[in-house]
Structures are given as structure tokens and as C-alpha cells.
A and B are shown apart, each in its own frame.
Chain A
């Protein structure tokens, strides 16, 4: 049983890494998700899969062949945290699509490498001039 699970982990990680090497950001994000699930499964398998009974400790102690509850608790935590991070990654993907009009990773990273925009002083109501980030207005969503 562990062998099958371990091979599945290997496959998921391989697929995840292969997808993350893609040029499209969509594939990269999906690859992160696949990789994350592979890792979650690996953590689950680390508690061994030979458990046959729920890990309730009764009067006579823990049952023989009780499943190890700790990796289950760990993987539950990891799934919840991972889900939140994937949602954030998807939000970044959606916004990239809107702002950059394409999701090619090379083009997106090139934007951060461009020279820093100048801060143009602009007058405000009380007569003082304060600097403003020029040409960044499209991001105020």
C-alpha cells in the first residue's frame, strides 16, 4: 500500500515540477497545486498506512493496528494552509491576466526589472507638493 502511495507521490511531484517549468503562468500555478498535493500525500504516508482501527484509547489502551492520527492532523493543517495560498496564487494569476494582458512568465518578470518609475511631485489641496507614483493608477482596484 505504501509503495503505491509513494509512487503516486513521485508522479505528482514530477508532474508538478514539469508544469512549473512551463512558460505560461497558468501552468505554473497549477503545477504548484499538483506539487502541493503530492507533498500532502507524502506527509500522510509518513504515518504508515497499516492502520485498521480509529485511534481511540479505551479502558484497555489503544487498539492494536490503530491508525497514526498525527500525520492526519498535520496533513489537515497543511491542506487548509495550502488552500489559502493557492487561492492567493490564483488571485495573483487573475490580476496578472488583467494587467499584463498575457500570462507569459518571462514578460511578467521583465516588468519588475524595468527602471523604477519616477516620483512626480503633484500638488494637493493644502498647497504642499507631495510625490506620487506616476503611471501606477491602473492598479488601484
Chain B
């Protein structure tokens, strides 16, 4: 059982080492990378099966009891996040098989992707605040190198913004972890949650939590600290920016959900602030997208706007709203990564990602038009796709909580999202190509990319049509989040031998 708990960290770590050792043999490295990503997805799904029964898997590093050993905890939310991380990792590696002469398609790609996955999975399963900081750093180092991979002025300038602002956020988190330890004498999330619930922590610990939430807000790209995201995501190589778009901000969202539900489970002033932040994030993000004229820059602003929905679920703090946030996380990661993938294919076929220079895709590649329509309509929340159920639950939860403004903002944001998607549709797909025609040859070697995109589109449809079981899982995950006692008990019971 312990092996399965730690597997989400060990598998990408082993894959990182193997791909690094095999870096001179492209085929072997690619094989290791594919196998590692497949194994991670399989372990994630196995964890979901275990977690679905309602058990919380917990383990202590080195079998030391709770305050001394580092806790690893997998509840329903963590298991789902690990599974979705494995799936997006696999899609990224498969997409990168497509022929592409971007300089980023290099030997460094596979080890760095798995290095990033180590950090992401570690952040999802740790039960220790300082350990969370370490995993954030691991994924940060991987993302720095991936962002700039391939070089060139453009990527370097995007990386400068990304590096500086993420370093500042990380230091704020470290400072908060230090303050929290100084105030409470513990860094174990479960024990801290127990102390918070019993009122045994001094008020200064709350200041540390506020600082920590600010740091996570930068990571999750919430209003007003989202500026780094649209300034950097569009410069990377297509599979890399899709991987970032799918996973990285969501690690920040996950950390926000985890910390707020554990330490401040009852709705308070922090939830009110988060509610306003969520509304502003949704609206400003989608308005920012309206001003953009390049595919990936439009999609980057939509990441910001969509993160607002998840935080709306967290801010309302009712079980239904939390379930909506969890459902939104699962749905959004798949859809957003897929839109970045499809944007990359469209840019490659038309020769540009500027909307003005694109066109003719509907006539030339109707299959791509269908593949684009599925995640695009899902993002906007058109039934019966996955985004509809996510938005439906969140709007219903807002109405139940009498948060009329939040419900209105969520609906308006949905309409603007649809406008934005139809802008891409009109410009890139319907309009004739400005330079005359699309050369059929540019599609050569694209097949693996289409496999990845089709699989993710199928997942979106499946989540939409089979929303019942997924929503049941999300509701059960939200119940665990809303009642942290089970989480605390699992960690305490997993003490040393």
C-alpha cells in the first residue's frame, strides 16, 4: 500500500533518470518517456479507484509518527489530480512525437517534462507545508527550463517575466511557512488543521496563512496578480505551453483549496475576499482575452478567467460549491490543454498563430474544426459537454448561497467566452486563408498530435455525457474537503511503527 502512495512521485522521478541516461538514443528516451507517463496515468486511475471507496491513504516518511515524519496523504481530490496529471503528461509526450522542427524538440524535453511532473504530483499528495514548498520549487525549476527550451529572444523575454514573478511568489510562500512554524510549532497540515480547529494557534498564524494564500494566488494567476501568465505562456513550444496551461495554475488552485478547507473550513472574511477576487478574475480575464488577436494569447487570458470559477466554488464553501470547483478542475485541465494543442496544430497548418494571418481551416481540415469545436464549446459551457455541468453546478451553488452577483458574473463570463471562441472560429476556421491556400504538405507527420487531441476531446465528451459518475465523485471529494476530520484522523492513524 505504501508503494502505491509514493508511486506518483517515484514513477516520474525514475522516468526522469531513465530518459536522462538514454538521452543520446532518441527512440529509447521516447519509449521510456511514454512508458513513464502511461504508468503515472495508470497509477493515478488506480488511486482514484481506491479513493472512490472513501478511504484516505496516508503514509509517514520513514515510519516516523506524525509531527516528525513527512506525511503523504491521498484523498479523493489528490487522487483525481494525480490521475489527470498523468493523462495530460501522456498527451503531451504523445503530441511531441509529431514531426516538428522547433528547436525545443530536443534531448532536454523528456527529462524536463517528467521533472515537472514529479513536482506537480508531489504537490498534490504531500501533507506537509514545507514539503509543499519543496515540490513547488521542483516544478518551478522544471517549468523555467521548459519555458525557455529552444531559445530565441521571444522565449527568453517571456521567461524573464515568468522567473522573476514566480520566484517572488515562492519566497512569499517560504516566508509564510517559516512564520507558520514560528507561530504554531508545526508544519504538518493535519496537525495544524487540528490546532486551528481547537483554537490553539496564536492569531499571528492567521497572518502567515494570509501571506501563503497570497503566494498561491500569484501561482494560480488570480486577479490582480495574474499579469505574468499572459506575458509568458504563449512563447513556449506548443506541447510545453499546453502542459503549463493544463497543470501549473491548477497546482496553485489545488493548494488554495487544500489550505483554506483545512485551516479555515468555516466561511469567514477570507471567503468574502476570495468571492470578490473570483468575480474580478472571471471578468477581467475574459475581457483581457477579447483584446487579443493571437490564438494562444486569447487562450492564456481564458486560463485566468476559468481559474476564477474554481475559486468561486472555494469561496462559497458549501459542499455543492466545492464539488463544482473539483469538477471544474478536472474538466478544465483536459479542455484547456487540448485547446492549446489544437491551437498549435492550427498555427502549423496555416503558418501563423495571428488570427489575421490564419484562415481556411474549415474547408481544408474539417476534422480539426470538429476537434476544436468540442473543447471550445465545452469551455464556454454549452450542454451537453463537460463545461456545462461544471458551470451549472457553480451557478446553482451561487444562487443557493444568495450570491447573486457571483452567479451573474459567472453567466456573463460564459457568454464572453463563447464570443471569444467564435472569434477564433470565424478567423481561423471559416474565413478564407489570406495567403491563398494551405499547403497540404504542412500536415506531414502530424498523426501523433491528432491522436493526443482526439483522445482528450473524447474525454471531454465522456465527462459531459457521463457527468453523473464524475459529479458523484466530485461531490464525495467535496464532502471530504468540507469535513477535514477524516483527513486529520488518517494522518494521525498512519503514525510510526
Contacts and interface: CB of A to CB of B under 8 A. Distances in A.
B145 to A, nearest CB: 7
Contacts of B352: 116, 118-119
Interface in B394-446: 439, 441-442, 444-445
Contact of B351 (A44, A121, A136): A121
Given A42-B175, A89-B167, A139-B151, A109 B99 contact: no
B103 A139 contact: yes
Contacts of A39: 171, 174-175, 178
A132 interface: yes
A89 B163 contact: yes
B161 A112 contact: yes
A117 interface: yes
Interface in B356-384: 357
A133 interface: yes
Contacts of A114: 154
B472 to A, nearest CB: 40
Interface string A64-87: 000000110010011001001100
A141 interface: yes
Interface residues of B, number: 58
* Interface size, A (range): 35 or more
Interface stretch (B229-237, B265-273, B325-333, B454-462): B229-237
A112 B353 contact: no
Interface string B97-127: 0011111000000000000000000000000
A132 B353 CA distance: 13
A77 B479 CA distance: 35
Contacts of A120: 351
A117 B168 contact: no
Contacts of B99: 130
Interface string A89-101: 1001001100110
B62 to A, nearest CB: 14
Contact of A88 (B100, B141, B161, B353): B141
A130 B101 CA distance: 7
Contacts of A112: 154, 157-158, 161, 231-232, 234-235
Contacts of A110: 157
Contact of B168 (A20, A47, A136): A20
Contacts of B232: 112
B156 interface: yes
A59 interface: no
Contacts of A100: 153, 156-157
A129 B160 contact: no
Contact of A119 (B174, B348, B441): B348
B347 interface: yes
B150 interface: yes
B168 A108 contact: no
Contacts of B158: 112
B171 A35 contact: yes
A43 B130 CA distance: 11
Contacts of B170: 85
A84 B148 CA distance: 16
Interface of A: 20, 25, 28-29, 32, 35-36, 39-40, 42-48, 70-71, 74, 77-78, 81, 84-85, 88-89, 92, 95-96, 99-100, 105, 108-121, 124, 128-133, 136, 138-141
Q: Nearest 8 A-B pairs (CB), nearest first?
A: A139-B151, A46-B182, A139-B152, A43-B178, A111-B157, A136-B152, A112-B158, A46-B178
Given A78-B133, A110-B157, A112-B161, 7 more contacts: A96-B160, A100-B156, A121-B439, A130-B101, A130-B441, A138-B152, A139-B153
